Amino acid sequence: MKCLVALLVFVVLAEGIVRIPLTKHKSMREALREKGIEVPYQDPASKYQNNEFSTSANMYINNYADTTYYGPITIGTPPQSFLVLFDTGSANLWVDSIYCNTQACNAHTKFNPQQSSTYSANGRNFYLPYGAGSLYGIFAYDTVNVGGIVINNQEIGLSTNEPGQTFAVAKFDGILGLSYPSISAGGETPVMDNMISQNLLDANIFAFYLSRGGQQGSVLSFGGVDEQLYQGEIYWTPVTSETYWQIGVDGFQINGRETGWCSQGCQSIVDTGTSMLTAPSNYLGYLMQAIGAQQSQYGMYMVDCSQVNNLPTLSFVISGVAFPLPPSAYIMQHGYQFCTVAITPTYLPSQNGQPLWIFGDVFLREYYSIYDRTNNRLGFATAV
């Protein structure tokens, strides 16, 4: 299970723009310390060895219909521009390339190695299966720019074959994985790990704000957090498996009443590449009954749109803190009589056999999420 990407039909959106903060009133270390993030000491002279300054960057990313969040990067010298899905559920960076002539590749911008002076070949092949779609490709190295942060000699995947229709309808030209290197295909070094090793960040963290209602304004931050995008306290919980961004879940409540489903512990993978909230399959029937949803002929669960405000609030207890999801978060309203429940089943348990949830975009629109590689923990705060 390399990634849990849920892909729907997309429309073309304008490329995102990059916003780089230019002024500071507090030092980054002071601002991060106030939020419970302690930056380890680094020798000030190390910046001269790298010939780069550590930094932080906020970049706007596109929201398509609350199902996919993607944004711009460049690869090569001179830079070639691509739109990529920023995915915490996988670890590899790949883009469409001139070596691929399938329908999916021909529908997108292709990287041309012959036009980059900093490109170098790797010679190894790879295969990447996702929750939806798969591809074959070759590995290589080149300069990558993400939000103004320049990573030298970054491992990249260049597609050579993308079978099927899945990526053909996607509005992005590739995927940039942000999970741990242990699940990287071919053992390639992920973008975040190169940012860390090349000392490019003020702090070894990144954070997501996912906009709602198909509106734009989603933000991906590297090296810091954007205090304007959340309110209240950041609650931290440790990563339980340094593979995906996986955390423990202590309890699951329906309208404040504990179900007991996680009394022996549950696990959850926090995955920006999955659009839905995914529940353990053996609990799905009970959950839909509590919601009052009926299954359609196509297998989706539906509710009467006029009853949405009367549906229960679902809450996850994580490290002793309850994180509620109101019905507005897990119901997709289409303007018709019937609305879709944005909860799907997974049939796989976690590595330790505990029930597995996937906190996709349904959860992450409600909570600003902070991914701390130094301390191997995840932070959640109420999104604005």
Give, in degrees to the nearest 5, the angle at Cα 269 between 10 and 350: 125
Mark whether 304 is an active-site residue.
no
DSSP bridge partners of 149: 146
Query: How many CB atoms neighbour CB 297 within 10 A?
Result: 5
CB 218 within 8 A of CB 70: no
Query: Tokens 């509620």 — which residue?
Result: 324
- CA-based torsion, 323, 7, 357, 146: positive or negative: negative
Identify the three-state secondary structure at position 48: helix
- Secondary structure (DSSP) of 254-287: ETTEE-STTTT-EEEEE-TT--SEEEEHHHHHHH
Count how many residues are written for the chain. 384
Amino acid code (one letter) for 336: Y
Which residue out of 87, 173, 202, 372 is catalytically annotated?
87
- Cα–Cα dist 102/341, whole Å: 34
Identify the three-state secondary structure at position 277: strand
Locate 220 and state its tokens: 């991906």
Mark whether 96 is an active-site residue.
no
- Secondary structure (DSSP) of 93-135: EEE-BTT--SHHHHTS--B-GGG-TT-EEEEEEEEEE-SS-EE
DSSP bridge partners of 222: 57, 206
Which residue out of 66, 173, 271, 361 is catalytically annotated?
271
Residues taking part in catalysis: 87, 271
